[in-house]
Structures are given as structure tokens and as C-alpha cells.
Amino acid sequence: MRKATLAGGCFWCTESLFRALNGVQQVVSGYIGGHLTDPDYRSVCSGQTGHAEAVEIEFDEQLVSYTQLLQVFFATHDPTTLNRQGHDVGSQYRSAIFYHDAGQQAAAMDYMAMLEQQQVFAAPIVTTLEAASHFYPAEDYHQRYFELHGHEPYCQAVILPKQLKLHRLFSSLLKDG
């Protein structure tokens, strides 16, 4: 199993998307990239810890590649807004890739360069590329949030459209049933 750590705004959205992919064994919502030891949701939401809401993904490279994870990542959030995703504002909602080795770093750099060259987005990509540091799992009530609370207004308004886009663009990567 390999690990990928990605931050694309609210981790409730990001977790639900990657959990649906074939070859993804586990997705954990949590915090990474800050200076506080053992952060919690309240401290991260203050914007003072430097952490990003992120997901740590365990995946089988034989079934889904790191580049495919990047494709889903860039297609399902806005990598051109600094410290913001929709109505979620603050550095904890930044777009970031936390690489685990030189291969992931190079793959992310190459993929972002290709997106910029092809002018896929109307504005420049502001996604940061950072070496993975200690990942702190979020509190239990944040795990599998969409699966457990999909009927709530936030989930219907924000997460469901991303789910529909995932199914439209990446149906070949999804788990059966």
C-alpha cells in the first residue's frame, strides 16, 4: 500500500470522493502542515495552527495510480483560490499536496505544469506542494461524514455535486456497487 495526502478544502468533501475509488483501501480525514502538536478541529478552524484539513489515502498502485488520484483531486476542487474553497475561507482550507517521496513530488509538479500549460483553469494554480509531515487524524465524528450525514443541507449543497461530477468524469475508476 502507498500513501497520498491531499488537501482540497473541507475534508468531508475530499474524503467522500477518494473513498469511492477502486484501489483505495482507506481514507482518513485529518490535519497536516501546521505547528501545533495534536491539533483539534476547534484549534485548526481558528486558522492559527497552520494545519490544513486534509485526507490521508492508502491506495493500491496496481489498481489506481498516484496520477489518477491527482486527476480526481484537481477535477473536484478549485486549485486557483488561495486559502478558500467555496464558502470555506482560511488557510486550513488551502489546496495542497503533501508528497511522501521524490516520485510523488515530481509527479505532482509535472501534473500541475501540464494543467498550467494546457490552461485548464482560467486562473493560475495556487496549490502548494509540501513535504508530508505528521498527519493527525481528525475526531471520529469527522470520519465518513458524507456516508453518515449525506442528508444534511451542507452535504446536499456542497458534497453531492462533487460526487455527481466524480461519477460523470471518473466512472471507470469507481468501486463496483
How many helices (DSSP H) and strands (DSSP E) are in the chain?
A: 7, 8
Q: Which residue has the cell 498527519?
A: 135
As to burial, measured by CB atoms within 10 angstroms (0-12 exposed, 13-18 middle, 19+ buried), residue 1 is: exposed
155 labelled catalytic = no
Write the CA distances from 75 to 68, 78, 80, integer angstroms. 11, 8, 12
Residue 13: CA count within 13 A, CB half-sphere? 28
- Please tell me the distance from the alpha carbon of residue 13 to that of residue 146, in angstroms, as a whole number: 7
Alpha helices in 76-140 (DSSP H): 102-117
Q: Which is catalytic among the residues 10, 13, 45, 155? A: 10
- The residues annotated as belonging to the active site are 10
